[in-house]
Amino acid sequence: MHAITYETPKSLDEAVKLMAAHGEKARALSGGTDLLIQLRAGTRRPEYVVNIKNIPELTRISFSLQHGLKLGAAVPCIEIHENGDMRKYYPGLTEAAHLIGSLQIQSRASVGGNLCNGSPAADATPALIALGAQARVVGPKGERMVPVESFCLAPGRTVLQPGELLVEFHIPAPERRASDAYLRFIPRNEMDIAVVGVGAALTLDMSDDRVVAARIALGAVGPTPILAAEAAKSLIGKPLDAAAIDNAARLAIAASSPIDDMRGTAEFRRHVVGVLTRRTLAKAAERARE
């Protein structure tokens, strides 16, 4: 590994100043489970590695039924899973975080790092998109909110400009009779990279059970995670019956643009998008009705 300078700011202000001062020579270090591999392989060569795990805003989960969730970008996945509010109100995002690698990985890896790494197969990203998460980005020119579906530009590339830092995710408060789910397909039980991942969030009507709001997001079936907006829109105002679910699954397949690779063919991936869309919608609905 090339020589680096290590910085470990204690405040957001200090971190933003460091990131701004070093610009594209700096890379934020969250759990490091992707970054250290990239440093070793030479695929990323930052001169400055800025540890962001000692900054309060980046390492906290703050939730209220009124204001929703602020999830620090560097919170390790295992802390998400261990948080009762996360499991109860955002089970889809929680299960996505709890699917990323082994316990060793979950003890370090974060949802923010998962997003900033820019992999189209990132498990947490479709779950964030389904929930309508906004990424709070702070940089030398001030701060901005980026919808997570707009965050990734290409494999390994995101909207973050030199000097900018992803601080936290803002996720709306859960409605009544609303929930989410995330499912992925891998060829074994655990510890693998998604061949296809699907996240869904649903709100059902209190009286007639029709779909009031829906979001569906797809992973590993395009150069970036995909918001399947048409698929979700097709459900609005309808009861979530087999016909509605099949139609949404068909539209989700249409929104995907998978490639053939060693993990699966494009044809297989399209098929799995349909299967997982049906299953995540059913699971989110079942949770919403609880």
Partner 1 sequence: MANKVIVETTINGDPVELLCEPRQSLLEVLRDVLELTGSKEGCLTGDCGACTVVIDGRPVCSCLMLGVEAAGKNVSTIEGLATGAALHVLQRKFLEHASLQCGICTPGFLMSAKALLDRNPNPTEAEIRYALAGNLCRCTGYDKIVRAVTDAAATMAGRSSRTAHGGAVPAETASGMVSEMLAKGEDK
Q: Which residues contribute to the site for partner 1 (CB under 8 A)?
A: 1-6, 8, 29, 31-33, 36-37, 39-40, 49, 51, 53, 76, 78, 101-105, 107-108, 190-191
User: Is the CB of 79 or the CB of 149 nearer to partner 1?
Assistant: 79
Among 92, 93, 85, 87, residue whose Cα is nearest residue 65:
85
Residue 178 CB, nearest distance to partner 1 (Å)? Answer: 29
Q: From the CB of 78, what's the least distance to partner 1, in Å? A: 7
Euclidean distance between CA atoms 221 and 276, whole angstroms:
12
CA–CA–CA angle 23, 125, 285 (5° rounding): 155
Whichever of 103 and 206 has its CB closer to partner 1, that residue is 103
Minimum distance, C-beta of residue 36 to partner 1, in the bound complex (Å): 5
Q: Based on CB atoms, which residue is closest to partner 1, 45 or 157?
A: 45
Closer to partner 1 by Cβ: residue 11 or 102: 102
CB of 136 within 8 A of CB of 148?
A: no
- 153 vs 191 by CB, closer to partner 1: 191
- Which lies closer to partner 1 via its Cβ, residue 49 or residue 75? 49
* Helix%, strand%, coil% for the chain, nearest 5: 35, 25, 35
As measured in angstroms, the least distance from the Cβ of 54 to partner 1 is 9
Longest dimension (CA), the chain: 62
Residue 75: name the closest of 63, 57, 93 by CA.
57
Three-state secondary-structure class, residue 185 = strand
The CA distance from 124 to 263, in Å, is: 19
* Cβ 107 to partner 1 shortest distance, Å: 4
Question: Shortest distance, CB of residue 1 to partner 1, whole angstroms?
Answer: 5
Query: Smallest distance, Å, CB 109 to partner 1?
Result: 9
Q: CB-wise, 105 or 275, nearer to partner 1? A: 105
73 burial class (0-12, 13-18, 19+ CB within 10 angstroms)? buried
* CA–CA dist 32, 51 (Å, integer): 9
